Amino acid sequence: MPDDDADRFTAIYDGCRQRVWAYVVSRAGRQVADEVVSETFTVAWRRLEDVPEQPLPWLLGVARNILRDSIRAEARRAMLAAELGAWTGQAEADVAEDVSERSALLKALATLPEDDRDLLILSAWQGLTPAEAARVVGCSPITLRVRLHRARMRLNQAASASPLMQEAATARRVSTRARITVGKEAR
C-alpha cells in the first residue's frame, strides 16, 4: 500500500532526520549537511523495503558512505575545521564553568584520525551502543569495542596534551576518587 509506505517513511523521517543531520554536521560541517541528508533520505525512500526495523544505524551508514564517496577527505577536513571554529567559539561564549574543558575536548577531537572521530561521535554524540555503531561502520561489535577503546585512549591523550585540560583532569580525578570511595563504603 503506497499510503502505508508514506506513513512509514514519514515516521522514519521524523524519528531520524535531525539525528542524521547532526551526524553529518559533526563529520563534515554544515555546508554540505542538507544535501547529504536529502540524498540519504532519497536512498531510504527508494529502498524503503530494505530499511530495517531500527532505521537509524542503517541511515547513518548510508550518510557515511555518501560523505566518503562524494566529498574528498581533504575537503571534509577543511569543512570540519570551519565548523569546529564555530563550535569552540560557541563553547567559549557560554558562561559555563567547564568551558575550557569543552573547547579543549573539541579541539582534541579535531586532531584525531577521521576513523577515531567517527566512532567517538557515533558513541558520545549520537548515543549509539557499540552494536549499533558497529552496524553503521560495518564491522563486528568485537572489532568496534576494541577500536572504540583505542579511539578513547587517543582522545584522552590528545585532550591531556593541552595544559588547560591537564588542570581540569586533576580536579576531576580528585572528585571521582572521593565518589568511588563513598560508593565502596555504601556497599
Partner 1 sequence: MKNDVLQRLAAARPAHLDPGLPTPSQVRQEELATLMSLPRASRRARAATRSARVRRPLLSGLALATASVVAAVVMTDTAPERPGPAPSATLGSGSQVLLAAASHVERQPAASGKYWYVVETLADRQKVPGKNYSIDIRQEVRWWTAAAKNRYWSQSLDVGARPATEADEAAWKADGSPMSWDMRDVTGEIVTYAGKGEIAHDAPGGIADSVPMGEVPLRLLPTLPTDAKALRKRLFELVDKHYNGPEWTLDRIVVEDAVQLATTLPSTPALRAAAYRLLAAEPGVRSLGDVKDHAGRTGYAVALTAEYAPGTERRLIFDKSTGMPLGQEMVSTRSGDGRKKGDLLSYTTFTMKWTNQAPPFNTDYSDPPADLRSVPVDELDVEAAR
Q: Does residue 8 interact with partner 1 by CB under 8 A? A: no
Q: Whole-angstrom Cα distance, residue 39 to residue 70?
A: 11
Q: Does residue 76 interact with partner 1 by CB under 8 A? A: no
Taking the complex as a whole, the smallest distance from the CB of residue 43 to partner 1 amounts, in Å, to: 6
Q: Does residue 147 interact with partner 1 by CB under 8 A? A: yes
The binder of partner 1 chosen from 58, 71, 80, 162 (CB under 8 A): 58
**CB pairs under 8 A, 24+ apart, for 148-157?**
148/119, 148/120, 148/123, 150/116, 151/112, 151/115, 151/116, 151/117, 151/119, 151/120, 152/120, 154/112, 154/113, 154/116, 155/105, 155/108, 155/109, 155/112, 155/116, 155/120
The binder of partner 1 chosen from 6, 74, 80, 163 (CB under 8 A): 6
Q: Does residue 162 interact with partner 1 by CB under 8 A? A: no
- For residue 56, give the C-alpha cell: 537509524
Q: Does residue 32 interact with partner 1 by CB under 8 A? A: no
Q: Does residue 1 interact with partner 1 by CB under 8 A? A: no
Residue with smaller CB distance to partner 1, 22 or 78: 22
Q: Does residue 109 interact with partner 1 by CB under 8 A? A: yes
The binder of partner 1 chosen from 78, 110, 139, 164 (CB under 8 A): 139
How big is the site for partner 1, counted in residues (CB under 8 A)?
86
Start-end of H helices in 29-161? 33-46, 55-70, 73-93, 99-111, 114-120, 130-137, 141-160
Q: Whole-angstrom Cα distance, residue 42 to residue 174?
A: 50
- For residue 85, give the C-alpha cell: 571554529
Taking the complex as a whole, the smallest distance from the CB of residue 17 to partner 1 amounts, in Å, to: 5
Q: Does residue 18 interact with partner 1 by CB under 8 A? A: yes
The binder of partner 1 chosen from 8, 31, 45, 76 (CB under 8 A): 45
